[in-house]
Structure 1
Amino acid sequence: MNAGKPIDKHSAQQALRLKWIPDQSVSYGVCITFENEGSKNEVKYEVKVSRLKPGSNNEPLFQIERTSEVFVNEAIPELVADRLAYEAGKVFYPLVISVDNNGGFETVYNHDEILKRWPKIKSKLLSNFDGVMTDYYIANMEKLLAIPLNVTNILGKNDWLINTFFKPIYKVYQKDKFEKMVFPILNNSNVDNYLIAEKFEKNSNSFGAIEVHHEGSIEMENADNFNQYFGDYQGKYFLHPKYKYIISLISDFSISCYATSKVHLRVFMIPEDGRDFDYDFLSTYDENNTITSGAVILDGPPQKSFWERLLNI
């Protein structure tokens, strides 16, 4: 792809399909930067995302494992409230989620496993923390974990990786059609959506990846009558040319009312040991599988403190 070349819009019959093989895993580095009223906080961690075999109702499943500590501003959280939230949050991982046929997040699938992990996590919390804050936080966590829908909602509304990585990008792309998407930056406002134009480049770029671009702004008709919100979103997805899984994701968000808040998210594939970043981008694959017509399906069988604000628990 030539630098600065406009992205072509495609016909209503062109689509993108995910061909991620079950039991195949990809490791990623995640960096999220939060800017708000002059303050800046950076969160970094590593995850392994695995495509699993379909669930009991043939729903596509993915597992997310955190493979490193979570660092805030290059350090492990030290404040008691931050550390408490961080240690309690470990109960969710490994996390198994279901997605729809377009790749969009639907539900937390392994709620029973999360519940079984909680007693051990709770015991560690009680051993390492004490006081009213600990009791309060444990009570809130137990209330949250008791209902599967609560777990799905809290992660679906507040987890930045889930809200960007698992968006419905595997689908038919129609010319001049806009999509409505919600991201965590809007949780504390009365704004419902960003209105987004989606485009993808038919031909792979200079290093062999397929590009999907998002560009949008806050949908003004849903703004609070008393607080006029403005905001923009730009996202770039770089997909593996054969399997179509994400190899890199760059997203930038803003929302302004009395002040401006920004979030910058970067996700990059971590190559396997001893391999180059683009080691399999030149693999032989059927060009006709890049753009297809007809139904779009995933392959397989049919189908406070900073940390408290971040997790919103």
Structure 2
Amino acid sequence: MVSKTEEEQVNRLESQVENGGGGAWEYLCLVRKLKLRRSDKVLKFGLSILNDPKKRSALGPEEWTLYEEVAVAAMDCQCLDVAKEFTKVLQKKFPGSKRVGRLEAMLLEAKGSWAEAEKAYMSLLEDNPLDQIVHKRRAAMAKAQGNIPLAIESLNKYLEIFMADQDAWRELAEIYVSLQMYKQAAFCYEELILSQPTIPLFHLSYADVLYTLGGLENLQTAKKYYASTIDLTGGKNTRALFGICLCTAAIGQLTKGRNKEDKENSQLQSLSAVALEKDYKQRNQSKHSLLTATLKSLKLS
């Protein structure tokens, strides 16, 4: 996950390059380090370096890494002529390279030559069954073709081998949510929280899924994870605050007459409602009256 500071650094450097202040290579290195997907900028800034013989030669061995990165960015941007040209450059430099072979398969995929791309990927897997990128490309290709069951199957098989891949768990969770398969999505978010317990987004997404599932136990657990999201973000997550309000209102309907739970819910409702009202007064005054009306409808204000 990229921190707010890192994102600001990337944006600042991007603006600097766009305005002629230099730093294109530094920008590309930072995007690579943070594993960001800013294909249009990688393509634009990468071409500015590779098309300048002096700048290109100054890169040393990194020149070939940049060719690869720009080729992939070109595929994302559907600039397939550029992708084809740079793939050929790499083929000539590294004949027989499996890494370049993977790039060739990705180019076939970008062209929509699904059967040829699948054949190329399977050939690569025969040589290296543990190639993570190829496994993920096959899942992505299935999704791109609208074959969601195959995408789910591919991701599940992949995660049986590479259980620590957070991106794959997130992708699988999002697919399940899109299909309203909330119990399966919850399992994915549980895995993510176990591997990275300090990332607020995982707690928030898990709470959202549990709230959607409903039922007293799920609502109580959702409330805890909304609370942990608030704790991890220093009390600044509006969505989690509102989530607590929704959960406590729903729990209140299910536990009427249970004094202990009524008291706990009442305290949490009040704290969350006050925090929300304060947040809206500071950042979104125009919608403050709407928030107040909503909280009143939940009997929270």
* Structure 1 and Structure 2 fold alike (TM over 0.5): no
Q: TM-score range by the shorter chain?
A: under 0.3
Q: State the TM-score, normalizing by the size of structure 1.
A: 0.24
Higher normalized helix content (fraction of residues)? 2
Pair member with larger Rg: 2
Q: State the TM-score, normalizing by the size of structure 2.
A: 0.25
Higher normalized strand content (fraction of residues)? 1
